[in-house]
Amino acid sequence: MSTLHTVNKSPFQTQTLISCLGHAKAGDSVLMIEDGVYGAMSGSAMSEVVAGMGANVKLFVLGADVSARGIDAGRVAEGVTSVNYEEFVGMAASCDRVQNWL
Amino acid sequence: MSENIKKFLYVNRKAPYGTIYAQEALEVVLIGAAFDQDVSLAFLDDGVFQLTKGQDTKEAGLKNFSPTFRALGDYEVTKLYVEQESLDERGLTLDDLQDIQYEDEDDDYEEKPSIIVVSRAAMADVMADQDVVLSF
């Protein structure tokens, strides 16, 4: 039993990612999409918070949205897995529920 | 309860008047209530502001939709989960929220509170217990 959470807001703009990580259960997947990908960057003021709060979940980022924003793939934080659209669909199909954090 | 009944959770995380999300969520809840599903509402983060009592939108020229929450019981929507930490962070208590009740038809139509205050951890459990989660 697991949930796929998606987050589409920058953690520098809203508390959405923090709230998501605060409610996700161990073993859940958290996928950062759209402006949410800024939460996946290393070396930011949010990096440690995300790594700490996300320690018990699987962290993912949508590669297309990373590329679109000019973020080098090397800037994606350690422990965050980059996925493509097809893998996104696969994740949505294989989990028990999807919860979108808006 | 037929086996086709699914558990639906409507998640409210936004304050009532700055965006249309809160009002739209309520519309969808009322529409969804016609389908006889097991419906719950969650209020967390700024979503707890939706339930404050004494909202007066006259001067602002906005539609005050907060009384609608008190009508949800008539549509058999009787579980409004409110997160304690979100209240605390905003300096709110249960006393600041509307008194929302429903008539329990299994208990001689006794009036019972619809609001269930839960911890963040318990809210996470509620979320993980759903078939469908709709966010607003």
Q: What is the pLDDT of residues A13-23, one digit of tens each?
A: 999 999 999 99
CB contact under 8 A, B13 and A101: yes
**Minimal Cα–Cα distance from B52 to chain A, Å?**
21
DSSP SS3 for A25: coil
Task: Print the domain residue range for B53.
Answer: 7-135
pLDDT at A53 over 60: yes
Task: Print the domain residue range for A61.
Answer: 3-101
Helices (H) and strands (E) in chain B, counts: 3, 7
Banded model confidence at residue A1, pLDDT cuts 50, 70, 90:
confident
Q: What is the mean pLDDT of residues B23-44?
A: 95
pLDDT number for residue B2: 56
DSSP SS3 for A58: strand
pLDDT number for residue B4: 85
pLDDT at A63 over 70: yes
pLDDT at B1 over 80: no
Sign of the CA dihedral running A41, A44, A47, A50: negative
The two structure tokens encoding residue B61: 């020229």
Does the predicted interface ipTM exceed a cut of 0.85?
A: yes
Banded model confidence at residue B131, pLDDT cuts 50, 70, 90:
very high
Q: What is the mean pLDDT of residues B19-48?
A: 95
Residue A60 is classified by DSSP as: E
How far the first Cα of chain A sits from its last, in Å, is 23
**Spatial separation of the C-alpha atoms in residues B35 and B76, rounded to whole Å:** 11
In a domain, residue B2? The reply is no
Question: What CATH number is associated with residue A97?
Answer: 3.40.1260.10
CB contact under 8 A, A97 and B131: yes
Q: Who's near A85: CB < 8 A, 6+ residues apart?
A: A62, A64
In a domain, residue B1? The reply is no
| Total domains present in chain A | 1
CB contact under 8 A, B127 and A3: yes
The residues with which B10 forms a beta bridge, in sequence order, are: B41, B134
| % of residues, chain A, pLDDT over 90 | 99
Q: What is the mean pLDDT of residues B45-68?
A: 96
In a domain, residue B27? The reply is yes
Quickly count: other Cβ atoms within 10 Å of residue A73's Cβ: 10
DSSP SS3 for A91: helix
| Total domains present in chain B | 1
Q: Tens of pLDDT along B66-114?
A: 999 999 999 999 999 999 999 999 999 999 999 999 999 999 999 999 9
Please give the backbone phi and psi of residue B11, each rounded to the nearest 5 degrees, phi first.
Answer: -100, 120
CB contact under 8 A, A97 and B120: no
Question: What CATH number is associated with residue B80?
Answer: 3.40.1260.10
Spell out which residues of chain B touch residue A100, defining contact as CB-CB under 8 Å: 133, 135
Q: What is the mean pLDDT of residues B14-29?
A: 96
The more confidently predicted of residues B3 and A24 is: A24
Spell out which residues of chain A touch residue B124, defining contact as CB-CB under 8 Å: 22-25
